[in-house]
Structure 1
Amino acid sequence: MWRWTWARRGLGGLGWEPPKPPRRPRSSGPRPLPLSYKLLDSQDPQPPLVFLHGLFGSKTNFQSIAKALGQQTGRKVLTVDARNHGESPHSPDASYEAMSADLQALLPQLGLAPCVLIGHSMGGKTAMILALQRPELVERLISVDISPLPIMGVSSFSSYLEAMKSLQIPQELTLSQARKVADKQLCHIIKDINVRQFLLTNLVRTNGQFVWRVNVEALNQQMDKIMDFPLVQQSYSGPTLFLSGANSKYIQPSHHPEIKRLFPQAQILSVPGAGHWIHADQPQDFMARIKCFLS
């Protein structure tokens, strides 16, 4: 069949043109994945709070804080599983651009833009990239114990993944028994019992086998990208808060100039008595800082 169309050639008069083939999806950016999430709904018109967990985490990491802040502020609150984590799909692409693309699709779909974006560690870097790429989706930004610079010499995540890959667990065990066996095997590499217990929340039984919910292979392959931060020239001019744990080394004074370059409105505050997991170490102080920033 032929159809009439306005030709763009010459003076733009009417002309004949054969039908165009269907457009292929643009391949210029990462393909978004449908993320698993939990939404605490509300009729409040204020920008919703959106929580992004860190590496090896899941949306349940912020469950109690999300519920409390929802009650205290009246706002909608969204917690999300990043790709390769929790109940979200797996992908070989674990880049921050890909994790940002997932949120660029999800937030407008749920009618939650613009939002207050709160990201811890890996989730903080994802939040920063989203704010830099699509500032209209982010009303204000909170980065929890992470800066827009490569992580150097403060993490052992690669050794964690190697230890997780090497586990040998008999299939006849219950889940609680399997986690005890896994803990004994991991303790030779991962000395901190709190870290082991955190990692073991990812051990689940699927189709009669014990597997990791996190995509161990993809995270291991792309750990360099996760530890790094994409090179970005544009800045985000919205209100921004960087919370650092007083006992953590993830945000250094030497990072402040780059933070201010990319986020010129940034406040940088330290939380006493907190390490890298500020929301777990000092939950009341963490929520108080967020509510103060919102007001």
Structure 2
Amino acid sequence: MKLRTIFNYRKLLCNESKKFIRQSSTLAEAQSEDVIELNAQVHSAKSKVENSPVMVMLHGVFGNSRNFSALSRRIAKQCSIDVHCLDLRNHGDSPHSPSHSQPAMANDVIHYLTNHIYPSKCILLGHSMGGRVAFDAVFNNPDLFCATIIEDSNPFAREMKTLVTTDDINSPFAAIKILKSVDLSYFDGKSVSEVKAEISDVLEDKIPSMAVQAFLLTNLMQSPDKDGVQWRCNVSAIAKYLESYRSSKWDTTFEAYKSRLTKGPIDVPMLCVRGAKSNYILDKDIEQLKHLFSDVSLTTLDTGHWVHSEKPAEFLKEVITFLTLKELISS
């Protein structure tokens, strides 16, 4: 299987992208901003059927394209389709921007599709924040997609839960608050591995989960001058994004989406995969989604929020079953 990494940092929206971006109230903010060319890791299938779709994967907050490395390789091999794992703006190796709005992120994805995947149809898979971005992208540009898979993500505005503990609480604010509280200048002259070891001792009292500690620390990187470390993700921009969930002006409610439907439910098959120990996707969310999309199915696995990493074989089976049922891949 061939793996290549695309590094391209153009920020202007090309004319080809513009013709696919549907004008809407939620895209108004994104239309006024530069669109970012996203970094990607591409896993190419050894043999492909002519006109086969391409899968694109979108990670969650604080994540990056490498979160899907194992899953993307298996899908490329077993489904004989190319898989593109993207770094969303302000994450991984994609450029940083002061804006981290959901419409802007969705616009980045559409820009990537029209430049790197079109005219092939896209299967868009997103986890958590990536699931909300995927929902926005498909809702506003359905003609580019043949299916979407939402992993433990709720596109509708409501109080978010934390990724730091499982028995609380308020939202991912705990994690971003911790990252913002760390003074990285204290570690000048030290390597990433040295800093991780020291920070881990500090995080132990604040973050009970070793897995979450390790996940957050994947965002540590050596600074360009090699004299210290810095966060790979744009902590300040992400903090503003998370804070937007507290705003009463948040416009991604079910009612807001429903009011924008002009031709009935969208005809793009959607699979929602949720964790039984997570409460990101509620039964009522599925009922509301069925008013917006004509073909919505739900499966629940015995996991928490990180479904594809906690039950990789089961998650892969659900994805392959769904794609086979929709005749997007051969059985």
TM-score (norm. length: structure 1) = 0.86
| 2:161–2:172 contact (8 Å) kept in structure 1 | no
In 2, distance between residues paired with 1:284 and 1:199?
24
Aligned-residue identity in percent: 29
* In structure 2, distance between residues paired with 1:124 and 1:136: 18
CA contact (8 A) 1:48 1:115 kept: yes
Unaligned runs of 5+ in 1: 1-24
* Residues 119-151 of structure 1, C-alpha deviations (whole Å, 9 max, x = no match): 000000000000000001111010000122224
Q: Distance in 2 between matches of 1:157 and 1:163?
A: 10
| Partner residue, 1:197 | 214
Contact 1:95–1:226 under 8 Å retained in 2: no
For 2:31 and 2:221, locate their aligned partners in 1 and report how far apart those are by CA, in whole Å.
Answer: 36
Q: Alignment partner for residue 125 of structure 1, among 132, 140, 164?
A: 132
Does 2:82 correspond to 1:76? yes
Within 2, Cα distance between the matches of 1:63 and 1:56? 16
Residues 204 and 246 of structure 1, relative CA distance in 2, 3 Å threshold = same
Residue 252 (structure 1) aligns with: 282
**Which residue, 292, 295, 310 being the options, matches 1:281?**
310
Name whichever of 39-48 and 99-108 sits farther off. Answer: 39-48
Shift of 1:202: 0.4
Q: CA deviation at 1:116?
A: 0.5
SS at match of 2:36: coil
Match of residue 134 from structure 1: 141
Distance 2:266 2:97 in 1: 28
Q: 1:54 aligns with which of 49, 56, 60?
A: 60
State the TM-score, normalized to the length of structure 2.
0.77
**Residue 108 of structure 2 is aligned to residue 102 of structure 1:** yes
Contact 1:164 1:186 in 2 (8 A): no
* Cα distance between partner residues in 2 of 1:183 and 1:121: 25
**Matched residue, 2:228:** 209
How far 1:193 moved relative to its partner? 1.7
Indicate whether 1:237 and 2:240 are aligned.
Answer: no
1:51 is aligned with what amino acid? M
Give the letter aligned to residue 265 of structure 1.
D
Q: Which has the larger radius of gyration?
A: 1
Aligned-partner residue type, residue 41 of structure 1: S
Q: Does 1:147 align with 2:154?
A: yes
- For structure 2, the 5+ residue unaligned runs are 1-17, 19-27, 163-170, 325-331
Residue matched to 1:9 = none
Q: In 2 relative to 1, CA 188–242 (structure 1 residues): closer, same or farther, beyond 3 Å?
A: same
- Map Cα deviations across residues 35-83 of structure 1 (whole Å, 9 max, x no partner): 1001123443311111100010000000011011101111011000000
8 Å Cα contact 2:128-2:152 kept in structure 1? yes
C-alpha distance after superposition, 1:17-48 (max 9, x if no partner): xxxxxxxx998444210110011234433111
Distance 1:108 1:167, change over 3 A: same
Q: Distance in 2 between matches of 1:196 and 1:136?
A: 40
**Residue-by-residue CA offset, 1:178-228 (whole Å, 9 max, x unaligned):** 111112222332222211110000011112221111100011122133686
Amino acid at match of 1:210: V
The residue matched to 1:251 in structure 2 has which SS? coil
